[in-house]
Chains A and B, each alone.
Chain A
């Protein structure tokens, strides 16, 4: 062993020692997106109505539209987005690690998720509740009749906990059969292993449409046993990105409230209504405060339409799910959808 080999070793040790310096400082999401030229959006692998891809790889859905609106606002081009399908156990880790920029995956806003997972929820885009689906043959009409039933449920969701709470409170002693993936859960219910399937009511409608051999054979019970406010979320520590995602959704809601649609947004640019002028940037530049230009809301509405159009297209009467607006109507029409003013 000669001197040269020893010195190579010493150099290697020194190199490794310098590597153990403190890791890099936190990066800003917006800078990363602009450098990359793409928004990376975490979505559900397959929940028709919220997020689904056809065989050509084109994604459509409610959550997809929200991401498209965000992309249009930030990058002016709706196609500059990468879709990352994530199952229930992977979604938070992917957001925390920086693998995705925003999680738009029908995720329920709860205290634990907001406070202890390092995320921030930007708002509610869909007010939902957890429901049950049974076969018509079982002649069950209410959740209170489910004494001792076996229930198929997916791991890693609020569904599991709500089911346990409801079962305990109503003394129903329901037996959960827990699966890791959505596909396994669906398969188990539709082969008849479990008598009941439980998830958010919108998810039930979607799964019934997609997977049942005969959707009419399955009944969604009217009882909703929990509150499931669904909304997009971003990583903690980046207030600018948080503000942008939040206000894009609010802008879409305001657009519906003031009658701006995808079709008439160009004409609305010349409207005299001061509120509309503010939203579309004709009178004052609200985008500057968010770090964007004055057409930010215009681009969002042009890309996906207003909130109501998004709903109709993906979840409402024009879609396969045919869900009623219900609680998801504007506050002025008796629903819960309310946006702070864009001013």
Chain B
């Protein structure tokens, strides 16, 4: 008998008759009678699955029959054939004699190239505009509000067309290109600029920067632990930046400080060499950035406004400076509300980059459509597009769910 717990099995003041011992539970009986819910739910599921499967069978049967009748070939064997077409821009060198698989890989790389930079720029721009909408200054508030309203209410395709028109109509031709800096050309062919030539020393630079990143993360962890133990804040941002830049610089110096640049030069018809951003790339990038930033601005504004005003009052009462208040009180709570819709906006940006096919940027959908037209394998090419985007979406959903689980408020 435990301390302090009355034994209810025997009669006492609390339970005059005592408690009867429990009967064994009755056996679980699945009721399969005509009108039971179990039978009905099974029936519904069977019927639904049967409908879906038979519809699928019918459509598949039709498709196979149609393809046989029309002599359309099918299968993924075309992927190893040489593509036969060139691709206007890519970071992986591509030649028309390489296979379709390589062409699709170039398409995916182009999509990621514009999406990654677009996500970064849109987040920065969107955050500024979202915070601007909460400013005390009326002009700033109105201008940011006008920005959000305008860019959210016009379709993205139309915005892309307008950007493309501006870039191709107003810029001069390559012969009369603008040269703001030596080696930089800005014309209808895009922006061409010098880039560093890859030398062995650069590997050391990258190694230095990675080491700097690792050390910066470690420093961040250390300062957080110190803060939780002692309440003293340590600067994190500046030292992290210093570590990253400093170790990178050290690596570069150790590598022999390679400084050779690949400078674009004008030939008869074109400007060759150096790095280039085509008007198509710039159109898609700017269009996506500006459009998604409008949505991100609203999300950021909603997140900041979701933090109760009492939190601000409490931080002032505690004597926290504005910077400390933002960092320790406002941001963690706001981020919890901001991150899930922000992640879905990132996903939207990546999916919206598929509109690049309308302005001639060779992303995944554009290359897939070209392959579809050249080989006639419509189903296979569309399946590839859908598989790639589906993978990206599922990865993002998985990440978002993991983040949500971790950051859930642990309530009673």
Contacts and interface: CB of A to CB of B under 8 A. Distances in A.
Contacts of B375: 112, 116
Interface string B262-275: 00000111101000
Contacts of B35: 1
Contacts of A35: none
Given A155-B366, A178-B88, A19 B58 contact: yes
Interface residues of A, number: 56
Contacts of B366: 155, 178, 180
Contacts of B88: 150, 175-178
B207 interface: no
A235 B70 CA distance: 7
A252 B270 CA distance: 48
Interface in A120-173: 138, 140, 145-150, 155-157, 160-161, 163-165, 167-168
Interface in B271-291: 272, 278-280
B369 A1 contact: no
B39 to A, nearest CB: 9
A184 B360 CA distance: 9
A150 B189 contact: yes
Contact of B86 (A9, A167, A180): A167
A16 B174 CA distance: 63
Contact of B272 (A19, A145, A148, A163): A148
B373 A20 contact: no
A191 B167 CA distance: 10
B168 interface: yes
Interface string B93-116: 001110000000000000000000
B196 to A, nearest CB: 22
B370 A156 contact: yes
B58 A161 contact: no
B357 to A, nearest CB: 6
A178 B50 contact: no
A23 B65 CA distance: 8
Given A16-B50, A23-B61, A180 B71 contact: no
B370 A178 contact: yes
Interface in B290-342: none
Contacts of B404: none
B188 interface: yes
B360 A192 contact: no
Nearest to B167: A193
A20 B168 contact: no
A149 B270 contact: yes
Interface in B22-51: 35, 40, 43, 47, 50-51
B215 interface: no
A167 B168 CA distance: 25
A119 to B, nearest CB: 8
B181 to A, nearest CB: 22
Interface of B: 35, 40, 43, 47, 50-51, 54-55, 57-58, 61-62, 65-66, 69-73, 84-89, 95-97, 168-169, 173-174, 188-189, 267-270, 272, 278-280, 357-360, 362, 366, 369-370, 372-376, 378
Interface of A: 1, 6, 9, 12-13, 16-17, 19-20, 22-23, 26, 88-89, 92-93, 96-97, 112, 116-118, 138, 140, 145-150, 155-157, 160-161, 163-165, 167-168, 174-180, 184, 188, 191-193, 195, 235-237
Given A116-B71, A149-B270, A161-B84, 15 more contacts: A16-B54, A23-B61, A89-B373, A116-B72, A117-B71, A118-B72, A160-B85, A160-B374, A165-B96, A168-B96, A168-B97, A174-B86, A180-B357, A184-B359, A193-B279
23 contacts: A1-B35, A9-B47, A12-B51, A13-B47, A13-B50, A16-B50, A16-B55, A20-B54, A92-B376, A96-B70, A116-B375, A118-B69, A150-B189, A155-B369, A156-B373, A156-B374, A164-B84, A164-B85, A168-B97, A193-B188, A195-B269, A195-B270, A235-B70
